[in-house]
């Protein structure tokens, strides 16, 4: 059965790269400490699943969306583009580190689920009973993305992000945040038919 994903328009496509314009949407998120993108998603998934399956003030379920995503930031919270997003916030001990950690980085990650499009305002969403769950609005924004198969790991994220940054430089676009790794499939799906993406928001003038 297919599930809903965030709505976007492809502005430009070149090989496996896309420049997209995302519509406004809502997210639910949880922040955890972990050693990797996948480790963060594993830790936080159950808390968010509990929220959408009924652990909220309305005691009602919210349809599942896709993908599960991971991204890092340098302290500032950046609006990202996936129903489930893990965003690493650099820990205090890494703030002055050089070079910046890119693979299997210990720290804080935020895992997000995108809410179905039928919810247009935060007031429309059932309020979570668990105080760890946060509800947010992601405004209209642009992002570049690259899709690929296999079982996602931090090495794949770093390599794809490097390719995307090079493509952005060719288009004279600047990153508006750290890379986000999106996983669209259930854990039991074989790697050769899985779909992943790395997404980088575009800085707007």
- Is 125:6 a contact under the CB 8 Å cutoff? no
* pLDDT, tens digit, 9 for 90 and up, residues 112-135: 888 999 999 999 999 999 999 999
Which CATH number does 8-201 carry? 3.20.80.10
For 161, the enclosing helix (H) or strand (E) is helix 154-170
Q: What is the DSSP string of 177-194?
A: S--EEEE-S-TTS-GGG-
- Is 199:157 a contact under the CB 8 Å cutoff? no
How far is CA 76 from its chain centroid?
15
In this predicted structure, what is the pLDDT of residue 32?
86
Evaluate if residue 87 carries a pLDDT over 70.
Answer: no
Q: Is the pTM of this model over 0.75?
A: yes
- Is 78:138 a contact under the CB 8 Å cutoff? no
Per-residue tokens: 80: 């990202």
Residues written for the chain: 205
Task: Dump strand ranges (E) for 102-190.
Answer: 107-114, 134-138, 141-148, 180-183
Of the two residues 107 and 122, the one the predictor is more confident about is: 122
Q: What is the mean pLDDT of the chain?
A: 84
- Is 144:168 a contact under the CB 8 Å cutoff? yes
């Amino acid at each position: 059965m297919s599930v809903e994903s965030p709505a976007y328009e492809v502005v430009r496509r070149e090989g496996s790269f896309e420049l997209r314009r995302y519509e406004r949407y809502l997210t639910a998120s949880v922040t955890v400490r972990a050693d990797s993108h996948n480790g963060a998603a594993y830790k936080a998934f159950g808390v968010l699943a509990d929220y959408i399956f009924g652990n909220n003030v309305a005691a009602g379920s919210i349809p599942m969306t896709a993908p599960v995503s991971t991204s890092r930031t340098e302290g500032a919270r950046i609006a990202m583009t996936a129903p489930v997003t893990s965003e690493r916030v650099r820990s205090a001990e890494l703030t002055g580190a050089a070079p910046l950690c890119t693979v299997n980085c210990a720290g804080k990650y935020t895992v997000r689920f995108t809410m179905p499009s039928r919810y247009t305002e935060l007031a429309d969403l059932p309020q979570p009973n668990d105080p760890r769950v946060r509800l947010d609005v992601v405004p209209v924004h642009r992002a570049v993305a690259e899709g690929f198969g296999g079982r996602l790991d931090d090495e794949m994220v770093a390599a794809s992000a490097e390719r995307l940054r090079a493509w952005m430089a060719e288009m004279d676009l600047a990153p508006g945040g750290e890379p986000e790794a999106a996983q669209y499939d259930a854990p039991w799906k074989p790697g050769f038919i899985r779909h992943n993406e790395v997404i980088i928001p575009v800085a707007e003038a």
